[in-house]
C-alpha cells in the first residue's frame, strides 16, 4: 500500500529510529527505558520516536501491568524508483494525513484549522493538538486554501 510505504519511509528516515526498530527486532519486547539505556538515547527522545514509529505501524506495543513493552512491527518495505514515484507523485499532504488519521482525524483537522484561522489558537498549538509538526499543519492548510487571506 502506497500510504504505508510513505509512512514507513518517514519513520525510518531518521537513522536513530531505524536503530530502534533493529534493536526491537533483536530484543523481542523492550521497555522504553531499556531501549534508551541500550542505545544511549534520552528517554523523552525514545518516547517521541516510539510514538512516531507506532503511528507508522513500524513498532507495536502492549501493556504488561504498569509497563508498556515495544516490539518491531511486522512490515515489509519495497523501495524502487517505481514505488517511490507511485508514493510521491500521487500523494498530497491531505492524502497522507487521511491515511494516517482516518476520517475522524480529518474531521478533527477541520475543527482545529477553523480555530487556528479564526485566531483562537496559534498554528503551533493547532499542530500539537493534532499530533503533527508545524510544517505538516501549515502544508495542509496551504493545500486546502486555508492560508489565502
**Domains of the chain, first to last:** 2-72 (1.10.10.10), 94-143 (no CATH)
Q: Over the stretch 15-27, which tens digit does the pLDDT of each residue have?
A: 899 999 999 999 9
Q: Over the stretch 48-85, which tens digit does the pLDDT of each residue have?
A: 999 989 888 889 999 988 999 999 988 777 777 877 77
Q: What is the pTM of this model?
A: 0.55
pLDDT above 90 covers what percent of the chain? 49
CB-based contact 33:44 (threshold 8 Å): no
CA angle 39, 59, 62 (to 5 degrees): 100
Amino acid at each position: 500500500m502506497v500510504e504505508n510505504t510513505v509512512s514507513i519511509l518517514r519513520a525510518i528516515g531518521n537513522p536513530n529510529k531505524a536503530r530502534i526498530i533493529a534493536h526491537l527486532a533483536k530484543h523481542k519486547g523492550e521497555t522504553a527505558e531499556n531501549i534508551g539505556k541500550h542505545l544511549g538515547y534520552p528517554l523523552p527522545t525514545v518516547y517521541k520516536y516510539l510514538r512516531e514509529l507506532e503511528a507508522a505501524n513500524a513498532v507495536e506495543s502492549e501493556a504488561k501491568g504498569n509497563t508498556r513493552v515495544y516490539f518491531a512491527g511486522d512490515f515489509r518495505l519495497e523501495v524502487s524508483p517505481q514505488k517511490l514515484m507511485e508514493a510521491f507523485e500521487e500523494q498530497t499532504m491531505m492524502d497522507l494525513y487521511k491515511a494516517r488519521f482516518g476520517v475522524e482525524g480529518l474531521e478533527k483537522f477541520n475543527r482545529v484549522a477553523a480555530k487556528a484561522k479564526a485566531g483562537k489558537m496559534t498554528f503551533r498549538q493547532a499542530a500539537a493538538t493534532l499530533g503533527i509538526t508545524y510544517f505538516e499543519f501549515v502544508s495542509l492548510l496551504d493545500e486546502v486554501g486555508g492560508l489565502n487571506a
